[in-house]
Amino acid sequence: MKPNILIIDDEAYNLDALERIFRKKYHIFRAENGKDALDIIRTQSIDVILSDQRMPGLTGVEVLKQSLEFQPDASRILLTGFTDLDSVVKSINDAKIQLYLTKPWDNTQLELSIEKAAEAAMMRKELKIKNKELETAYQNLSELDQAKSNFVIMINHELKTPLTSISSYLQLLKEEIHDGEQKTMLNGIEAGYDRLQKLIDDTLIIIKSQTDNLTLQKKSVSMKDTLTNIISSLQPELDKKSISLDFKAEDSFIDADANLITRALHELVKNAIKYSPNGEAININWSANKVSIKNIGHLDEEKIAKIFKPFYVDPSIMNHSNSTGLGISLSQAILKAHNTQLQISSQNNTVEASIQF
């Protein structure tokens, strides 16, 4: 499609001459005065406005200035005589004039100037369209993300009600059933219940953190005691893989939600145990308000990037694991609510997860 050019000049022979120069490459609109020019500007899409300065009624600068309201993306070029230069230069910013050319004009220079002006105008319009499309897409994504969060919260809420009933029935059955095989089956049901309950709780924490609705019950928390208790609870898993533990901790405190911070750190230590080879060592250190958990292993940059995506799920849960697979996402959500974040690095066959409080 040809760019649209509006040529404004009160002398018909100038309009004819300019139209002959540009009609092959451009769609031409023409006006002999400012009033007619503004009528065109209000009703047509114009890419370049080329106006003479000295005309009866409105001057070229006045027309170009008023055109800003209706054609903000158009390129504006002013044709002027030497005697008008002082007044033009003073007004050039008000009218956002990209270029002014003196009469008599050089055809080659004028053609080149119009070509560049048309390209610039069309690029501005295209950029505005693209920006609008991006804004719309972003708005749609935001609405979709909010709808997803609302849906997950609703589903979790609906699941909690029957789970409460299941829990009550399980307790009654445990009191009544004494047969060994039936108790084994009941234990399997209870394990499934526990996993589903944890999945709901983990998901709600992640969603609430993403929407800044996670409420913290902060108090002074001993990190040394917290990590000691976590290690103690995971000792069977350490023993199962013959993993040794090097644990060092300062006796210092942070202001945090004790239950949530314990859950976050528990997931990280558990993750280190899970991916450590049998018989290796894990190093856990707490000093200078920083937790560091190191284990033998390797993560490439692509895998690390995936880990930091919202709702990252450990693929290994597909292999009938008892975990929900949301451990890292859960830890990150809790840390976000505490105004900090998880850092993961991998070098020299060592993976380090660290948090600066």
Model confidence pTM above 0.75: no
Amino acid at 76: R
Percent of the chain with pLDDT over 70: 89
Query: Two tokens at 70?
Result: 């209706």
Containing 222, the helix (H) or strand (E) segment is: strand 218-222
- 291-319, pLDDT tens digit by residue? 999 999 998 888 888 887 766 666 654 44
- Residue 109 pLDDT > 70: yes
Q: What is the pLDDT of residues 111-158, one digit of tens each?
A: 999 999 999 998 998 898 999 889 888 887 877 777 666 766 677 667
CA nearest 33: which of 66, 62, 58? 58
pLDDT(321) > 60:
no
Alpha helical stretches, state H, the chain: 12-22, 34-43, 60-67, 85-91, 107-176, 180-210, 223-233, 235-240, 258-275, 301-307, 327-337
Place of tokens 């929900």: 324
Domains of the chain: 4-105 (3.40.50.2300), 132-210 (1.10.287.130), 218-356 (3.30.565.10)
Distances in whole angstroms, Cα of residue 186 to Cα of each of 13, 166, 171, 180: 99, 12, 10, 10
Q: Say how many C-beta atoms besides its own lie within 10 A of residue 235's C-beta.
A: 11
Integer Rg of the chain from CA: 36
Distance CA 214, CA 207 (A): 8
pLDDT in tens, 337-355: 999 999 999 999 999 999 9
